[in-house]
Amino acid sequence: MKYDLPDELTVDVDGAVRTVTLNRAAELNCTNANLHWALANVWRQLSADTDAKVVILTGAGRAFCAGGDIGWITTFLDDPVARDESLREGAQIVEEMLRFPLPVIAAVNGPAVGLGCSIALLCDIVLIAETAYLADPHVSVGLVAGDGGAALWPLLCPILRSREYLYTGDRIPAATAVDLGLASRTVAPDDLIAQAHRLAERLAAQPTEALRGTKRLVNMYLSQVLGGPLQAGFAAERVTMQSDEHRGKISAFQQKLSRS
């Protein structure tokens, strides 16, 4: 099957396994317009690939996904159409991943930040390199953590621990992420992709309908629980995207980048 995607997201075929790679290595796989669109639209294309049974999601280079590209995010300050489209696509990413019928293994090879963290945690199994970390710094840049963090984390780990990390934006080291229930297990960095493939092959050999039906039931529960908080989260994030606090944080971050 031929995938119709921008270069920022690639799909490699290996038997019944599809490896989806965020492919902006030089930018730590931060999401720009093309990558964000691709993450919203790849899942239906994968569903239409009748030979696929399992998907591995990973990042090129040394990061999984370090959040949103600052240049792209800055355009939202004065372009409400682009801002609202990004929020619509963000909701589409979550909905498509919850609806996707095949098991997805996240191979978190490096930092998974903001949306990057959310897409990792929406996968069925999360293998995380011992040197990687998770973080959701939305609040730190003046935004509500609306694209998954505030709604999803309390379903996976204790609410008290969720609050601390969401409120501060602090990094969650790999081992701590496993202890909290935000990752399945840690893996040596050099063995991450190999272990992901071994697990993918094992899942591909499972009875197809039994595996898909089990995932559908689990995700039905997640979809029902997440529906209200996600809608409220995206609405609240939209409000904070227009705030002076957010504009100030983005401007300060841009100045810091220009000096480095």
Report the percentage of the chain scoring pLDDT > 90: 87
253 occurs within a structural domain: no
21 occurs within a structural domain: yes
231 occurs within a structural domain: no
Tens digit of pLDDT for each residue in 75-89? 999 999 999 999 999
Confidence of residue 260 (pLDDT cuts 50, 70, 90): low
Return d(Cα 49, Cα 45) in angstroms, integer.
Answer: 7
232 occurs within a structural domain: no
252 occurs within a structural domain: no
What's the domain count of the chain? 1
Q: Which domain holds residue 168?
A: 9-190
Handedness of CA 89, 90, 92, 97 (dihedral sign): positive
This prediction's pTM:
0.95
CATH number at residue 50: 3.90.226.10
137 occurs within a structural domain: yes
